[in-house]
Structure 1
Amino acid sequence: MQTRDIMTTPVIAVTPSASLAEAAGVMTEHGFTTLPVVDQAGKLIGLVSEVDLVQAGFPSDSTATGDPDTGAMLGRHRTVATVMRTPGLAVPGGLDPAELAHRMTDAGVRALPVVDNGILVGMVTFRDVLRAVPATGNS
């Protein structure tokens, strides 16, 4: 079994021009903690997480204004490009689940993009890895 066998497809991603409110909507609708950011060709160019959106929605400076009940704090005019992180870590589809689990825990992430020649082909989460753990029969 390899990453490509347990990853989630098709991938739901956003472009850098998506608004923060749009990204938050996709995350909450699908229960994601991380969204990949792709260019028009499907090449992975970044990641945006719940933490990134929460930090953008509730800035620490006291001059921030907006109505948190309507999502105005997410700055409808700010885009994903302003808060996304350049992906330092993506994995190929050929990793075995044990190596994948080590990479995820070492990096402290709950989800990783899976790429093939830089093109996003899937996402893999801890839940996907858990599904690959063989049952031992112990209760």
Structure 2
Amino acid sequence: MRASDIMTTSIISATPDMTIRHAAGMMVFAGISGMPVIDESGRLLGMVTEGDLMHRAEIGTGVKQRSWWLELAASTTELASQYVKEHSRKVRDVMSTDVSTVTETCPVADIAELLDRRRIKRVPVMRDGKVVGVVSRANLIRALVTMAPEVPATGESGDNAIREDVLSAMKDHPWALARENVTVENGTVHLWGPVVRPEEANAIRVAAENVPGVKDVRTHFGLPPSDQASR
């Protein structure tokens, strides 16, 4: 799955000369927390987000007066930039210009990694220097809902086939159970073995739950395998 498969193409954007109040209103009514800033030629200039509008003089959320020694430590440039961010009425003065972008062919996994690494919530999708879409965290969640089908609660596979699939799902993982510690009876997987850490127990359980045909998973760590369950 790639950016083009999940991106929002009805782009809501700001212009650099738009007022802060107008931009804030657009985000509120559209239910978004940020948008690209695009000039008349369609060139991407930056992004304006809720974070850029957090500290504003109008609502009394500007950075509070620093102690005298912090004022001395801060550079004139830093203090001037802070003042502009808090008092300017134009988007161009508060937008973030260090913008990460992706192309339409960028894999969804790479986008998720980018959002996490940069600690951002959305990324513009570019084609020939123009913004053609936006991928947000919400788009990734929607993709999870629409593209990841539920694992069937029942299946045609017999218990022996289910057991082999469970073993295969755990194969090569350091927390995998030995063959003799996995038994299946009427679609219910029983997991046996020594006491393991909660994280490992969860990984083993999830691996079994994701196998088609599994109706239920029961763990019995710290107990020997039951002779009554299917082998």
Which residue pairs with 1:65 in the alignment? none
Alignment correspondent of 1:55 = 55
* Residues 110-125 of structure 1 mapped to structure 2, 5 A cutoff: 110-125=121-136
Aligned to 1:128: 139
Deviation track 1:69-92 (CA, whole Å, cap 9, x = no partner) reads: xxxxx86x7100110111430111
Cα distance in 2, alignment partners of residues 88 and 24 from structure 1: 19
Which whole-Å CA distance do the structure 1 matches of 2:98 and 2:26 have between them?
A: 19
Between the aligned partners of 1:61 and 1:98, the Cα distance in structure 2 is 40
- For 2:93 and 2:125, locate their aligned partners in 1 and report how far apart those are by CA, in whole Å: 23
Q: CA deviation at 1:136?
A: 5.0
1:89 matched to 2:100? The reply is yes
Runs of 5+ consecutive residues of structure 2 not aligned to the other structure:
66-85, 154-231
**1:32-75 Cα deviation digits (max 9, x unpaired):** 1111000101111100110111223522256xxxxxxxxxxx86
Q: Residue 100 in 1 paired to residue 103 in 2?
A: no
Cα distance in 2 for residues equivalent to 1:5 and 1:137? 20
Segments of 5+ residues of structure 1 without an aligned counterpart are 63-73
* TM-score, length of structure 1 as denominator length: 0.82
Correspondence 1:137 to 2:150: yes
What residue is the counterpart of 2:2 in the other structure?
2
Alignment correspondent of 1:31: 31
Report the TM-score when normalising by structure 2.
0.51
**Cα distance between partner residues in 2 of 1:88 and 1:60:** 24
Aligned length: 127
* CA displacement, residues 90-110 of structure 1 (integer Å, 9 cap, x when unaligned): 111111111111111111111
**Whole-angstrom CA distance in 2 between matches of 1:10 and 1:49:** 18
Q: What secondary structure does 2:56 align onto? A: helix
SS in 2 for 1:104: helix
Cα distance in 1 between the residues matched to 2:101 and 2:148: 28
Distance 2:44 2:24 in 1: 19
Give the greater-gyration-radius structure (CA): 2
| Preserved contact between residue 43 and residue 119 of structure 1 (Cα < 8 Å) | yes
Task: Identify the structure with bigger relative contact order (alpha carbons < 8 Å, sequence gap 6+).
Answer: 1
Q: CA deviation at 1:12?
A: 0.9
Identity %: 32
In proportion to residue count, which structure has more helix? 2
Contact 2:47 2:99 in 1 (8 A): no
**SS of equivalent to 2:114:** helix
